[in-house]
Amino acid sequence: MSDEGGPAVATHQVKREPAESASSIHAGELEVGYIDGGSGVPLVLIHGGESDRTQFATLRAHLGAGIRAISYDQRDSGITVNPPVPYTLGDLADDLIALLDALGLQRAHLLGTSFGGAVAQHAALRHPGRVASLILVATTPSYAMCVEAVDELLDMSHDDRQNAVSGFFLTPDGQADLRARAAQTLAVRDPEQSARRHAVARQHEIRDCLGEIAAPTLIVHGTADVLAPYAGAVLMEQEIPNAELRSIEGGRHAITMEFADPIARWVREFLEVTAA
């Protein structure tokens, strides 16, 4: 059901972000960079298409005790080492399960934002027994639902993409405090890496499969998100059997950063129920 509590209010500098150090682990055919912090319920944080494992520093600072937050670098991201060959969203979903295997986790809760939400959706469809729950943030069930705005962003140079952060990612209220930090979450990739990532993003289409997602699902979405239009969140709530939608009035694409405090609260509440 949709959130009836009214619009969330941004809290830009409530808590100091912890220092983050990365490790590597052999998972399947990859050497995967990851950050593993906290203890308790395992929650895997899956970064967006243009980011890496460090994207969730702000959200981590708000999650609190009782959650083991694990973020990792997908292929062609951060310090992960992968073969320089094309891959699919199915491969990225399998990589995630290989990481769970390497960490000794039979099941985990998944939080994916933007492109990471697509990876999470495919993991839930391909490996339902390994996914305890889904938290889908600022994402879409179909590239076709956001093709124009996303193509505009993907076709930019890295510098131009950083300059576009304000309009695409942040509300007017959040731009003054968070613009530089949001721009820093956009990772630098070489042209071949970017081409592989962008080709995968354009493959995403699971609208006809949403009813097959068995995991309890929390959807968190800004109503003014241009890159992942709000209509996609509404469709996911309608089609995923056990789904709940929490809306952030006026929120754009970087809601895990700008609205970290209310989102972390919703995540904790959701995990308290699904992990019981």
Lowest mean pLDDT among 5-19, 31-45, 142-156, 193-207: 5-19
* Residue 164: per-residue pLDDT: 80
pLDDT tens by residue, 2-38: 343 333 433 333 333 444 567 999 999 999 999 999 9
Opening angle at CA 136, ends 80 and 241, nearest 5: 130
Domain boundaries, the chain: 23-274
Find residue 245's DSSP bridge partners. Answer: 2, 219
* Residue 19: per-residue pLDDT: 46
pLDDT over 70 (residue 98): yes
pLDDT tens by residue, 121-135: 999 999 999 999 999
Average pLDDT along the chain: 91
Opening angle at CA 77, ends 74 and 80, nearest 5: 70
* Residue 186: per-residue pLDDT: 87
pLDDT tens by residue, 205-248: 999 999 999 999 999 999 999 999 999 999 999 999 999 999 99
pTM, rounded to two decimals: 0.91
d(C-alpha 178, C-alpha 276), whole Å: 35
pLDDT tens by residue, 165-191: 778 888 888 888 888 888 888 889 999
d(C-alpha 210, C-alpha 214), whole Å: 9
**Which listed CATH number (3.40.50.2020, 3.40.50.1820, 3.90.226.30, 1.10.1530.10) goes with 23-274?**
3.40.50.1820
Amino acid at 212: E
**CA-CA-CA-CA torsion sign (146, 148, 149, 151):** positive
Q: What are the C-alpha distances in Å from 50 to residues 3, 114, 119?
A: 29, 10, 14
Sheet containing strand 131-137, strands side by side: 23-27, 30-37, 67-72, 41-46, 108-113, 131-137, 217-222, 243-248
What percent of the chain has pLDDT above 90?
76
Residue 157, burial from CB neighbour count under 10 angstroms (0-12, 13-18, 19+): exposed
